[in-house]
Chains A and B, each alone.
Chain A
Amino acid sequence: MAAKHIGIGLVLLAFVTFAQAGPKVQSWQTDTGAKVMFVAAPDLPMVDVRIVFNAGSARDGDLPGLAKFTNAMLSEGAGDWDADALALRVEERGIQLGNGSLRDMAWVSVRSLVEPDVLEVALETVAAVMAEPTFDTEAIARVRQQMQVALRSSLQSPSGIAKRRFFQTLYADHPYAHDPGGDQQSLTAITRDDMVRFHRRYYVGENAVIAIVGAVDRAGAERIAHRVTADLARGDAAPRLPAVPTVSAGELRESFPSSQTHIYVGQGGMARHDPDYFALYVGNHVLGGGALVSTLGEEVRNKRGLSYSVYSYFSPMQVDGPFLMVAQTKNERADEALKVMRETLARFVERGPSEQELEDAKRNLIGGFPLRIASNAKIVEYLAMMGFYDYPLNYLDTVTDKLAAVNVEQVRDAFSRRINALTGIAVIVGG
């Protein structure tokens, strides 16, 4: 299937916005110290549970890939079950178990029918996966191989290489610098002990947020939260991450035998709860955040036919995540594309959006609110995000007003203070 744009879904997670009256969010603490976020969704006979730990690759320490490796091991055997038995007991009941990790978060998720005996197996399994993973040595060897294959696959794509280089250059020795997938050396070096230690430190109640959406009432949700966390060890929340270093301008070119050149241009962006969050977010929606409508899309794609996929985003994280502009074009036109991207940004920083552009972007973001919470799957991810980043429970009800309040001068001011169009880092990988 070929689509006109690949932008959909690309950056939604980074920019969660709500407006008007959202679903009613309830929250409490389990007796194991975990924060619970719950929305009742009675219409479908199913439940989604997503447990998020502050245990992403920012916690890797000297071993890039450790967080992801540890997370991947969770479903490879836990409690009394080896990987085969674990997979079978969930799948023969139609339960869907998932896990994953990025820079900030690591998570385990489960989707089950609400039938009591099915749901009980789902919860029992998730509890074991989080609290009692086996870290079987054979399974470790197997997952190590899989991660090495994944690493090689990402290094056979110019975009995979460019993104890695961008983060390495921008974040220098900060924990965000390395790729969550690790590198060849660390993937060889990580031991079972490293993972047991990592698990013991970070997979603890105080470091967890549990999001629940489904056809259960408050009492049912309390039982679910208790069930999945009862066996978790106690410990401490992860410490704050260090501040992000300031990196001056740089341009890095790497040759790759491809027909296209991939361009990543950017710099440090913002953290969650940044005072400029709404001005930068709405401003970026005009610049390159809208899937089919944006200034970058107009300049790079529509006017010049340079690139199929061109966009920009802020990725707000625990500490400053990046601001990035991305495009790819045939090698012969790479310099032209880079120039257009830089000039478009410079013009935007200098002038800001027009009244009309800002108005349209705000209408898209505010009017699009109901779409962003139109399924249990979407709501549970947003709940996990809100819990993880400590958003107030009424956040959903306040965002519309905050979006509506952004004006042209605020956007121009925020961009001119935060984004220096003349510096930043450009990573260019291609033939």
Chain B
Amino acid sequence: MKKLLSASVLLLALPLSLPLSAKVTEFKLDNGLKVIVKQDHRAPVVVSQVWYKVGSSYEPKGITGISHALEHMMFKGTEKLGPGEFSRTISALGGSENAFTSRDYTAYFETIAVEHLERALELEADRMRNLVLDTGEFAKEIDVVKEERRLRTEDKPSGSVFEQFNAVAWRASPYRNPVIGWMGDLENMTVEDLADWYRQWYAPNNATLVVVGDVEPNAVLAMAERHFGPLAPSEIPKLKPPAEPQQAGETCVDVKMPARQPFLIMGYKTPVVGQAKESWEPYALYVLSSVLDGGSSARLARELVRGSGIAASAGASYSAYARLSNMFILSGTPTDGHSVAEVEKALRDAIARLREELIGEAELKRVVTQTVASKVFESDSLFYQAMEIGTLETVGLDWRLADKEIEALKAVTPEQVREVARRYLIDENLTVAVLTPLPIDGKKPRGTAVSGVHHGS
């Protein structure tokens, strides 16, 4: 065991006293498991999360969705526990637990009274290495996963459009595949595929344990040593670096399915923290997204939803933390009497203006103030605090970045915001997906989305 760091982190730079000086401590076990503990002593509870560096962006062709399917099977028993026993044990301790899979990570969590933390860690350590993948259980659970896919994607217009959007936007990046996997891949997935996937990625040296709550770091470390310490590390596969080629023109996809409400998504490929040419770029993009959509006073609400009134809703989002290059996303829903094309034009105009004009100092100040306040508000949630640490660690960054955000945002200038718009928010870099509703009433195509794709502008 080696103690890497113990730092007292002040959450924000406000002229306020902060009685909760949030303390984060980081350890690493000899087998490579990273343990990060954040103290929050407001209530006698704790959130425990185990994060694995594996998700849909790690999946090769043919087995998309396997990380998520494996996540489901992690509740189906180990050498010691029967199917469902993990959940029943945590439940009977008054805890709640679940898991989530994304492009870059798979994570398992328990929220539980602090005196039961050790039992939760014991169970997590057990299923890190001793999962039993039973053929019969898998046959039923993969049906559940297919039902989940039908619920989230097949029958959900926004889900279908987003899936098609990603599939055409990315030529090579694994971000083109849905986290839940393509239905055809789910049909052909076997329990042996899952066993291989589990062997490759589920090991202490590919995981981070994050514990936030009413705990003392050394006590958590001792528990982690007891339960995770004996687990052997593995050789973790090295992924080839992703090579998304430069897009050479706009891409559009028109998704037709039974629906009542048209809408569109637009995405520009953008860099993320850790991979940008210049380190300020992701922060400038974040400011830009907040200038457009940082609340009801931001430009899209003020100009498209109120102002011209052509959009019932319009939004912009950008995530600076990801393993691979990501997209800056715009979306909009037209009001009656206005078309998706009008909303698209208005969104393009809003972007064009950012390429041409400098944002106002007041807009910049508003974004920083909102972020400073949000940091305080977010510390009300144990779960959010753990998510932030886990995400940063698992996409290959450092949890300390969360505490440098304010500083980084304060350093962003209007010129930098205009510069990232000019560099990245350009038509050559753009993908547009539109939902064209087919009638719902009467006998119409059922279920699957019909889509036409064309590349180039």
Q: How far is the CA of A57 from the CA of B152 in the complex (A)?
A: 29
**0/1 interface trace, chain B 71-98, chain A, CB 8 Å (1 if under):** 1100100000001100110011111111
Q: How far is the CA of A307 from the CA of B91 in the complex (A)?
A: 21
Residues of B within 8 A of A45 (CB): 14, 16-18, 376
Dominant secondary structure of chain B at its interface with chain A: mixed
* Contact (Cβ within 8 A) A2 B101: yes
Mark out the residues of chain A between 141 and 159 whose CB falls within 8 Å of any chain B CB in the assembled complex: 141-142, 145-146, 148-149, 152-153, 155-158
Residues of A within 8 A of B306 (CB): 83-84, 139, 142
Mark out the residues of chain A between 5 and 24 whose CB falls within 8 Å of any chain B CB in the assembled complex: 5, 8
* Contact (Cβ within 8 A) B180 A153: no
Chain A residue at minimal CB-CB distance from B366: A92
* Contact (Cβ within 8 A) A153 B261: yes
**0/1 interface trace, chain A 58-90, chain B, CB 8 Å (1 if under):** 000000000000000001000000011001101
Interface centre among A91, A111, A306 (most CB of B within 10 A): A91
A374 within 8 A of B: yes
Residues of B within 8 A of A368 (CB): 94-96, 113
* Contact (Cβ within 8 A) B147 A330: yes
Q: How far is the CA of A364 from the CA of B362 in the complex (A)?
A: 50
Q: Count residues on chain B whose CB falls below 8 Å from chain A CBs.
A: 95
* Contact (Cβ within 8 A) B312 A431: no
* Contact (Cβ within 8 A) B44 A367: no
Q: Give the contact stretch, choosing among B27-35, B197-205, B221-229, B297-305.
A: B297-305
CB distance from A73 to the nearest CB of B (A): 13
Mark out the residues of chain A between 349 and 372 whose CB falls within 8 Å of any chain B CB in the assembled complex: 360, 363-371
Taking a contact as CB atoms closer than 8 A, the residue among A308, A363, A364 that contacts B151 in the complex is A308
CB distance from A369 to the nearest CB of B (A): 7
Residues of A within 8 A of B102 (CB): 1-2
Residues of A within 8 A of B437 (CB): 156
* Contact (Cβ within 8 A) A371 B72: no
Chain B residue at minimal CB-CB distance from A290: B91
A417 within 8 A of B: no
CB distance from B337 to the nearest CB of A (A): 9
Residues of A within 8 A of B370 (CB): 91, 94
CB distance from A383 to the nearest CB of B (A): 15
* Contact (Cβ within 8 A) B380 A375: yes
Q: How far is the CA of A298 from the CA of B140 in the complex (A)?
A: 12
Taking a contact as CB atoms closer than 8 A, the residue among B16, B141, B336, B440 that contacts A114 in the complex is B16
B156 within 8 A of A: yes
Residues of A within 8 A of B84 (CB): 293, 298, 302
* Contact (Cβ within 8 A) A87 B302: yes
Residues of B within 8 A of A257 (CB): 258, 440, 444-447
B448 within 8 A of A: yes
Residues of A within 8 A of B157 (CB): 156
B313 within 8 A of A: yes
* Contact (Cβ within 8 A) A363 B92: yes
CB distance from B74 to the nearest CB of A (A): 8
Residues of B within 8 A of A1 (CB): 100-102, 179
**0/1 interface trace, chain A 404-431, chain B, CB 8 Å (1 if under):** 0000000000000000000000000001
* Contact (Cβ within 8 A) A363 B362: no
B19 within 8 A of A: yes
Taking a contact as CB atoms closer than 8 A, the residue among B20, B260, B335, B372 that contacts A156 in the complex is B260
Are A43 and B20 CB-contacts (below 8 A) given A87-B297, A153-B260, A371-B113? yes
* Contact (Cβ within 8 A) A360 B376: no
Q: How far is the CA of A83 from the CA of B305 in the complex (A)?
A: 11
B60 within 8 A of A: no
B208 within 8 A of A: no
Chain B residue at minimal CB-CB distance from A294: B91
Q: How far is the CA of A211 from the CA of B55 in the complex (A)?
A: 41
Given A2-B179, A366-B94, 6 more A-B residue pairs with CB atoms under 8 Å apart are: A43-B19, A142-B335, A157-B155, A368-B94, A374-B45, A377-B380
- Of the A-B pairs whose beta carbons lie under 8 Å apart in the complex, a sample of 13, sorted by A's number, is A152-B260, A257-B440, A258-B258, A259-B155, A260-B154, A301-B144, A302-B83, A302-B140, A304-B140, A328-B150, A330-B147, A370-B44, A374-B111
B residues whose Cβ falls under 8 Å from a Cβ of A:
14-20, 42-45, 68, 71-72, 75, 83-84, 87-88, 91-102, 111-113, 116, 139-148, 150-152, 154-157, 179-180, 258-261, 294-298, 301-302, 305-306, 309, 312-313, 333, 335-336, 362, 365-366, 369-374, 376-377, 379-382, 437, 440, 444-448
